[in-house]
Structure 1
Amino acid sequence: MRHYDGQVGRATLVIVAIFAAMTVGADDPTPKEPDQREIMLPGLTRSGSVLLPNGWSLRPAGKQSPLGDLPVILAENPKFPILAILHAGYGEHEVWTLDAKSGQTIARAAIPASFSGLVWSANGDRLYVGGGFDDLIYGFDHKDGLLSNKSTFRYPDRTPLQKESGPGGKKRQRVTAGLAVSADGKSLWAANAFGHTLARFDTESKALISEIELGLDSYPYGLALDENAGRLYVSLWGAAKVAIIDIKANALDGEYETQEHPNEMLTAKQGRYLYVANANRNTVTVLDTNKGQAIETINTAIAPQAPAGSTPSSLALTPDESILLVANANTNDVAAFNVKDAGKSTPLGFIPVGWYPTSVRASRDGKTLWVTNGKGGSSRANRDGPRPGFSGGSEGRTRQYIAGLLQGTLSTIPMPAPRQMAEYSRTVYACSPIKKDDPAGVTGPQAAKNNPIPSKVGDPSPITHCIYIIKENRTYDQIFGDMPEGNGESSLCLFPEKVTPNHHALAREYVLLDNFYVESEVSADGHEWTMGAYATDFVERTWPLGYRGDGRVPFPAEGNFAIATPAGGYLWDRAAAKGVSYRSYGEFIDNGKTPADPSTTKVKALQGHFDPKYRGYDLDYPDQKRADRFLEELAEFEKAGEMPRLIVLRLPNDHTSGTAPGKPTVTAMVADNDLALGRVVEGLSRSKFWPKLAIFVVEDDAQNGSDHVDAHRTVALAISPYVKRKSVDSTMYSTSSMLRTIELILGLDPMSQFDASSRPMSMSLPGCWMHRPTRFDRRT
């Protein structure tokens, strides 16, 4: 193991047993050349499609127009050819107005903060916008696409609300999501997602008329108004229900059951039917409001048996109400259904759009579709990304921070005829690793025969234990950019071999993975993807608000909110379902007040399956102490002769504290992390479990660095007697690939469409796995 002595500014070799314990025999393979097949990298391909870091592709239909940061909702003016688009991402929060015919931007109106909520008055001369965690609603006068005379709707003295349901401060924020306005323009309703209420305002006086409590953790989201029936429908994002509001009595008048994460809704046939998108399932619930029950559940996934992950998050109907359009955010498509006969829908096909579609609308004349794509049309490299611990830098550096790197787009698509729809559907399948008629739901590429990674769940593997180590925020170039064996850029390498000798030695001795990507942008969605192969719409829509510096926004992930849990659960849920033993060290764990106090967890599946003495995310606590604690337990496992088959271990200090006064330097913290990793691997390699063990190491995200290939490219390691030694594997992998590899080894079912369809870390020729353990000498 090698240790970086940051105090004297030089690398010092400390000869210990880690690499001696992994010493190869005389027949050990020599360093291998990288695979000579074509290497796939994110970006524009020869075919004209855009390859994303997760291995999916984009080839959006229609015309693509640039937008701002995370467009979340689009609304067509009911009287004039004007579109309004609300942006509520990491960057500027603003409303854009566009000419609906030409697509040209007319005006941009900045607002301090937003989350969602956008609605025109019936006559088209007013626009209302949600004010996010400011607990405001904004009103604008409108004429010819120009917005003026901004007015504000306020809650008087923060009207007392029921008990706070999660972290984020003593005063619970309301945070407007959905908005609706009466036909006469006199009443404005607001669904308050984090306040769990429905508010009603008088638009003339701007006074609050009423506020209805809808239940703790209900997270009211979308609104659908049926004035003829005297009803307002409120989707309860966190409760899998729709609340029915009597608008005359200003009171709750019942509920409908849906599936998880109901969001946007539409009424049809003069209010007889209500369509509800369920983002945490691949479904739309069709409700008959006369019967008071669901009459159909429409599957929106591109493979009917696919696990969760499509994320249907927006709905539109053609003017004649014959075609329902559903934006599937995570699979980058719009699903179309013939709904002329309510309750007996038939699929028409899929339309390819941009990355993470957030809103779909059909024009009033039925000739055009508009789709806002939250992450735009491509990922990007970020040579001018963050450089932690280094002063100076230009505006360009800030702008290439990954949270604001992916700017949205607008897809303008002529309404497709049947032949065009068939062609679009073929494109959607070509852009996805999912097979249309896979009877198993989703089956990704399979390992070769006799590979230690089974070809399917349930097949045997000679590997019996997996250690999954999660670190924080580094790009590939930051750590491995100095390794000539791989595709690195040395000028971007901030923590070279003298700082991270153990990372380098492990990559060089085992396999250098130089084409590995995270699906996430930051730690909030990163830990969700790392443990669940998916981040819900709740997480994706919330984290940008907190990362832009608003301290009122709670951290939406890692067990803090039940609503953040994916439908397919997390890796430990899959282990529990198959009777596979598991233990967490610091992941989804709440630290005690001091290091001497025990940690706790809110996650039910982790109760009794985590180490209360292991400290989770705390940058004032050295990774060396985390390594100490794990090695203590490892010694106990050795004595007992058994160890949990799945271990999740968090080593967070490569996150660093930046240039914060009184904190260790970034170099010292990364070196601490490197040494801790080396010690953990050393201990495992010298244990009795080593011959049947695989260690996987990955960053939760790559947000705090630069990379010349892609801002999502990251550090990953695979360490095992079964790894092909001294090799370079440039196969395109992602975090989901690593999860699928673990699942196949341990016999666990996939959690989402993304791990189910991903390429396991066995497919390159030569790949990083060999079917025979490498010999090693444990006598040293």
Structure 2
Amino acid sequence: MKNCFRRHPYAGLFALTLVVPGLAPIMSAQAAPSSERVVGPQKNGSIVASDNQLLTPAGTLVDLGSPVVAKAVAINPRKRTRSAAVLLMNAAQPIIVFNTVTGEVIQRYIPTTLNGTTFSSNSNGSFTGVSYSADGSKLLFSQDNNFVAVANVDPFSGRLTPAFSVTLPSPPANPKLYDSFSANAGGVVVADGSLGLVALNANNTVGIINLFNGTLVSETPVGNAPNSIVTKGDFAYVSNEGGRRATDSDFTNLSDGTPIVVDRTDAFATTGTVSVINLHSGLVTKTIKVGLHPAGMAKSGSLIYVANSYSDTISVIDTDLQKVVRTIDVGVPIKGGAFGAGANGIAIVGTTAYVTLGQSNAVAAVDLTNDSKNRVLGYIPTAYFPTSIAYDKATRQLVVCDDKGIGAQGSIGTAHGVSAFNTHQETGVVNLIPIPDRIELAKMTEKVIRNNHWNSENIKVGPEYADASAKPVAIPEHIGEPSLIKHVFLIIKENRTYDQMLGDLPQANGDPSLAVFAANVPNQHAFVKRFPLIDNMYAPSRQSADGHPWIVESGSFYSNDILSPDWIRSYPGGNSNDALTYTQQGFLWSGAEKKGLNVKMYGEWSSGYTINPKADGSQYTWADFYNTSLFKETDGRQGRMIVPDNSDTESAEIPSVTKILDQHYPSFNLDIPDQYRADYYIQKFQAQEAAGKVPNLTIIWLPDDHTNGTTTGNPLPNNYQADNDLALGRIVEAISNSKAWSKSAIFVEEDDSQDGVDHVDGHRQPVYLISPYSVAPQSPGIGKVIHTTYTQENINRTIENILGLAPLTQFDLTAAPMFDCFQNTADLTPFVHVPATTPLNIGPGGTPIAGTGSANYAMKMTRMQKAWNLASNQMTRGKQGKADSVDENFLNHVIWYSATDWKRPYPGEAKIQWPARLVTAASHKAVVKDD
């Protein structure tokens, strides 16, 4: 079938003034017009990504289908095949072979593994690791478990047939391991075709495989988290994302059970290395220090080029000297620098290096002959998040693998006349890009600059822009100018889309048929009667593991490039840690601490908790916490005091978190109602107010809108929503009745929007901006409707302008503060919370959860409901304390069915499904990870 994704005519799309051959840092800025565009394809052929970057990919796009995440690409050296292979995740197969001339798919390939006398298939690819032998007769590729597969390649068609798969050893037993898989990464076939080398990312080793008999010859220890391998003569060079191995004197933090040498404040990795292996001895003979998070590599002559993802540089290694002889800056070309270009792949064409910049949706063209400071010639626009690049000599074009491609654009048809979208419907692609000449490159560079907003007014950050005599306003124009707001409260909720919560509101862009929780959240509806109703706000993330980093780190490079969507080493964010996911830019809270501001955290970025058991050794239940809250809220008139105060103790692994984390506010635990969290926080807040010590920045995790299916002993999804909504309303009421209210702003957002559907885009989320300085209602009882295109990074930038914090990455640097959501005249009227209109304590069967009161009515469960109840019990057992630890497809189905009273099929399906199919599908995932 002819590929449907083709190059669009972008001529005249952007009227720019910057032409940047011999690129210099961008000194000037031009105002970006206010935009109300929605995420997705635009009429002019461009695409708006969920992080509000524009996509105008050059060349031809290869349609790989959906859902699919494209991770790495390799060119078949047999030119007559005109073929290449792309390594995939979240797809029906790990490899697609395509024609490099037409872009048409030649084959969708699943390897088979001999298990006794039975062949079984495995559809998982890995985050990198696909390589042809020099003669093109074999293809070696990694899978994200313990397998590395080798296929025979037809010399004429390029099609694959199974040769063998090798089961590689698991990492040594370690209670801190994320799972028991070696998580294979970069692979290469040595020149004579006799050996294959594979990086065992979780083992911190390289496996050497005999390609004649398919056996593991040896396993060589290297640095931490090996990523990619290239060979030169008798040596192999291995990039180690986690740097050198730790010594007893090092300060460390863990990544997948491995101690990583880290910063003593924000716990980010402080070393990056390349290990040199002698292929005759199988031993490491040299460790070369490079930049941070070294990933993709390429060789040319006696030189090896290493992409340092967290340094925004390229290290050049001379293989004769075995040391770095040059470092090339490929960072964001903004005066003063901006972290986060995201170099991750390299292809060498003559005297030019083409470097994929994952977070800039571009390829940087780098002049290797010029010794001047400025080496970047220009940029080529790609699709969303390029991860890998190769040069096809036969067609003289760059072949670029784009992880997220054209975004999460796979739509689900519904029975209600709309199409719905979900964050897991990625549409990864491959770009086929002819090498541009200088004139073409200059035009492409202009597009990349505009696509990334590198020339917007928002980049004017620094003391030279701040007016020290400026009058205080709600949102200062420049960071460093005074604000009327002194106390910022950031409240993080879990996983909901805009349509689920507010899709019923006719004054905004909603779909009532998808507003399954609207009736359960009266406080959130009350907010938007007075405060702004924002209907065009997006979470860039796929799910919690990258959602929390997007909020507190203004980006999630490692999760996107390495971990997602199969979560190779960890499931970071919220209450799970991984040292390799942190950057040297630090966090929102550490930026505030460095400025001398008072910061307090409740739940967010806790790394673990301990709850003291009952006297009989059993654990407290949801009902126990519910009764305890009810007892406190009614001064003992209702409920019972069952859970002693401070029974929950939280801990953190990041030093900057440890000193500001409240030790007894519960983090993610679905066995604890949000009323319990609200009770605890309100008491703490009132004590802070009485002492005159309300923090400048307070971050609160209020997670129970996540829900837990239809699990016995827990509320149904609608009732979880009611609990979360009431807790949120009570917290806002407490703040608005305080002396601090006159100088406060409350920002409420979801970490992601993965557990629902939305008719605009799966990343669209409900957000609330609550302050005396919030923009006035557009009419009585109707908050001003804001259609401006915003993401979580606009919230971060607004907070930074208020508190005078330096932006962390290019994303919050280029994001506009949310000026249109605020005014400079205060309305000090307190907010009064709305009592819940949905009972908080209703569980499966429609009756109160055992121990929470007598049933005034009962509803007999149908066979279908009973089946889902039992399946929920099975799927959620032991997982209440970790975000997203239940298979998302199962959870999304049961949430939808319960929220629609078991009357509506899940979007895109013709009837309500029995749970067995989804339970089986979840169990068949080769790696059961927190997805």
1:77 aligns with 2:90: no
Q: How many residues align?
A: 710
Q: Which position in structure 1 is the counterpart of 2:688?
A: 637
Q: 1:647 to 1:597 in 2, by over 3 A?
A: same
Q: 1:540 to 1:478 in 2, by over 3 A?
A: farther
Q: Is there any run of 5+ residues in structure 1 with no aligned partner, and where?
A: 1-35, 386-392, 547-551
1:412 Cα deviation from its structure 2 partner: 1.1
Structure 1 residues 201-248: Cα deviation after superposition (integer angstroms, max 9, x where no partner): 111122222112224xx1000101012xx2111000111111111112
Q: 1:441 to 1:633 in 2, by over 3 A?
A: closer
Q: Which position in structure 2 is the counterpart of 1:207?
A: 215
Q: 1:419 to 1:687 in 2, by over 3 A?
A: same
1:608 aligns with 2:620: no
Contact 1:232 1:247 survives alignment (8 Å): yes
Contact 2:305 2:317 survives alignment (8 Å): yes
What secondary structure is seen at the aligned counterpart in 1 of 2:609? Answer: coil
Q: Which position in structure 2 is the counterpart of 1:653?
A: 704
Contact 1:244 1:255 survives alignment (8 Å): yes
1:580 aligns with 2:597: yes
Q: Which position in structure 2 is the counterpart of 1:317?
A: 348
Q: Which position in structure 2 is the counterpart of 1:258?
A: 290
Query: Counterparts of 1:240-639 in structure 2 under 5 Å?
Result: 240-269=272-301, 271=302, 273-304=303-334, 305-318=336-349, 320=350, 322-340=351-369, 346-365=375-394, 367-380=396-409, 382=411, 400-403=421-424, 405-435=425-455, 451-496=473-518, 498-546=519-567, 554-558=570-574, 560-594=577-611, 596-639=647-690
Q: 1:468 to 1:777 in 2, by over 3 A?
A: closer
Q: Which position in structure 2 is the counterpart of 1:149?
A: 162
1:268, 1:633 → 2: CA distance? Answer: 61
What secondary structure is seen at the aligned counterpart in 2 of 1:478? Answer: helix
Contact 1:474 1:714 survives alignment (8 Å): yes
1:378 Cα deviation from its structure 2 partner: 4.2
Contact 2:421 2:758 survives alignment (8 Å): no
What secondary structure is seen at the aligned counterpart in 2 of 1:137? Answer: strand
1:224 aligns with 2:244: no
Q: Which position in structure 2 is the counterpart of 1:130?
A: 142
What secondary structure is seen at the aligned counterpart in 2 of 1:598? Answer: strand
Higher relative contact order (CA 8 A, sep 6+): 1
Partner amino acid for 1:411? N
What secondary structure is seen at the aligned counterpart in 2 of 1:128? Answer: strand
1:349 Cα deviation from its structure 2 partner: 0.7
Contact 1:475 1:704 survives alignment (8 Å): yes
Identify the range of structure 1 (82-91 vs 519-528) with the bigger mean alpha-carbon deviation. 82-91
Query: Counterparts of 1:52-201 in structure 2 under 5 Å?
Result: 52-68=49-65, 69-80=68-79, 81-110=81-110, 111-115=122-126, 116-133=128-145, 135-143=146-154, 144-155=157-168, 158=169, 161=172, 163=174, 166-169=176-179, 171=180, 173-201=181-209
Q: Which position in structure 2 is the counterpart of 1:769?
A: 822
Q: Which position in structure 2 is the counterpart of 1:23?
A: none
1:748, 1:769 → 2: CA distance? Answer: 19
1:452, 1:345 → 2: CA distance? Answer: 40
What secondary structure is seen at the aligned counterpart in 2 of 1:53? Answer: coil
What secondary structure is seen at the aligned counterpart in 1 of 2:360? Answer: coil
1:634, 1:438 → 2: CA distance? Answer: 34
Structure 1 residues 440-499: Cα deviation after superposition (integer angstroms, max 9, x where no partner): 6899x9999864111222111111010000000111111111112211111110111x31
1:401 Cα deviation from its structure 2 partner: 3.8
Q: Which position in structure 2 is the counterpart of 1:10?
A: none
Contact 1:82 1:97 survives alignment (8 Å): no
- TM-score, structure 2 normalization: 0.73
1:70, 1:779 → 2: CA distance? Answer: 46
1:159, 1:544 → 2: CA distance? Answer: 21
Contact 2:478 2:801 survives alignment (8 Å): yes
Partner amino acid for 1:626? R
What secondary structure is seen at the aligned counterpart in 2 of 1:606? Answer: helix
Q: 1:376 to 1:565 in 2, by over 3 A?
A: same
Q: 1:247 to 1:296 in 2, by over 3 A?
A: same
Q: 1:745 to 1:160 in 2, by over 3 A?
A: closer
2:348, 2:166 → 1: CA distance? Answer: 31
1:408, 1:777 → 2: CA distance? Answer: 48
Q: Is there any run of 5+ residues in structure 2 with no aligned partner, and where?
A: 1-32, 111-121, 244-271, 613-646, 778-783, 834-931
1:316, 1:599 → 2: CA distance? Answer: 46
Contact 2:277 2:285 survives alignment (8 Å): yes
1:44 Cα deviation from its structure 2 partner: 3.1
Partner amino acid for 1:277? A
1:778, 1:122 → 2: CA distance? Answer: 69
Contact 2:130 2:187 survives alignment (8 Å): yes
1:382, 1:768 → 2: CA distance? Answer: 31
What RMSD over aligned residues (CA atoms) do the two structures have, in Å?
2.7
1:112 Cα deviation from its structure 2 partner: 3.0
What secondary structure is seen at the aligned counterpart in 2 of 1:114? Answer: coil
Q: Which position in structure 1 is the counterpart of 2:267?
A: none
Structure 1 residues 533-564: Cα deviation after superposition (integer angstroms, max 9, x where no partner): 10023454323114xxxxx8631344521001
What secondary structure is seen at the aligned counterpart in 1 of 2:649? Answer: coil
2:448, 2:831 → 1: CA distance? Answer: 52
Structure 1 residues 289-337: Cα deviation after superposition (integer angstroms, max 9, x where no partner): 334432332222341543221111111011x3x1100011111110001
Contact 2:82 2:394 survives alignment (8 Å): no
- TM-score, structure 1 normalization: 0.86
Contact 2:570 2:578 survives alignment (8 Å): no
Q: Which position in structure 2 is the counterpart of 1:734?
A: 791
Contact 1:383 1:707 survives alignment (8 Å): no
What secondary structure is seen at the aligned counterpart in 2 of 1:296? Answer: strand
Identify the range of structure 1 (676-685 vs 307-316) with the bigger mean alpha-carbon deviation. 307-316
Partner amino acid for 1:201? I
1:666 aligns with 2:717: yes
2:125, 2:806 → 1: CA distance? Answer: 38
1:264, 1:180 → 2: CA distance? Answer: 12
What secondary structure is seen at the aligned counterpart in 2 of 1:330? Answer: helix
Q: Which position in structure 1 is the counterpart of 2:240?
A: 236
1:590 Cα deviation from its structure 2 partner: 3.0
1:344, 1:728 → 2: CA distance? Answer: 48
Q: Which position in structure 2 is the counterpart of 1:9?
A: none
Partner amino acid for 2:46? S
2:64, 2:715 → 1: CA distance? Answer: 40
Contact 1:122 1:184 survives alignment (8 Å): yes
Contact 2:459 2:814 survives alignment (8 Å): no
Structure 1 residues 319-371: Cα deviation after superposition (integer angstroms, max 9, x where no partner): x3x11000111111100011135787722210011111121111124721111
1:330, 1:132 → 2: CA distance? Answer: 23
1:163 Cα deviation from its structure 2 partner: 4.5
1:436 Cα deviation from its structure 2 partner: 8.9
Q: 1:154 to 1:679 in 2, by over 3 A?
A: same
Contact 1:543 1:556 survives alignment (8 Å): no
Partner amino acid for 1:666? P
2:813, 2:828 → 1: CA distance? Answer: 33
